[in-house]
Amino acid sequence: MLLVDDEPNIRETVSFILEMEGFPVATAEDGEEGLEKIRALRPAVVLLDAMMPRRDGFDVCRTVKADPELAAVKIVMLTALGQKADQEKGRAAGADFYVTKPFDEEELLALLRRLTG
């Protein structure tokens, strides 16, 4: 699993939660690094923030879903952008799921178990 978020506290908190549940987690701190790690690691699931420097999450999502070798990667947009228009933008970019911050920890874990099980 790969977590891509520019906020260090979010990366630390979410990584801790996932690791406590047995999910191995790699992290990236912006969209460009995230895309590089997606290509290198081929994670089954990517948790992707929308607003990041160098490349936003929507662009990363579109790029991944347009690449036949990466299109099967499940992308969960995990972002503070909770408006309906933002969710539609995420789905249009190819996101498989859209979770808004602050998120319910148990709901996120249940979703990730379904995606990786």
pLDDT tier for residue 105 given thresholds of 50, 70 and 90: very high
pTM (two decimals): 0.93
CB–CB of 79/87 below 8 Å? no
Q: Which residues span the domain enclosing 77?
A: 2-116
Confidence check: pLDDT of 82 > 80 = no
**Pairing state of beta strands 2-4 and 26-28?**
parallel
Average pLDDT over residues 88-108: 91
Determine the residue type at 31: G
Average pLDDT over residues 18-35: 97
pLDDT tier for residue 87 given thresholds of 50, 70 and 90: confident
**pLDDT higher at 101 or 5:** 5
Distances (CA, A) of 59 to 10, 32, 62, 81, 102: 20, 10, 5, 15, 22
CATH number at 63 reads: 3.40.50.2300
pLDDT score at 11 = 95
Write out 17-79 in H/E/C secondary structure: HHHHCCCCCEEECCHHHHHHHHHHHCCCEEEECCCCCCCCHHHHHHHHHHCCCCCCCEEEEEE
Q: What is the pLDDT of residues 38-75, one digit of tens each?
A: 999 999 999 999 999 889 999 999 999 999 999 999 99
Count of domains for the chain: 1
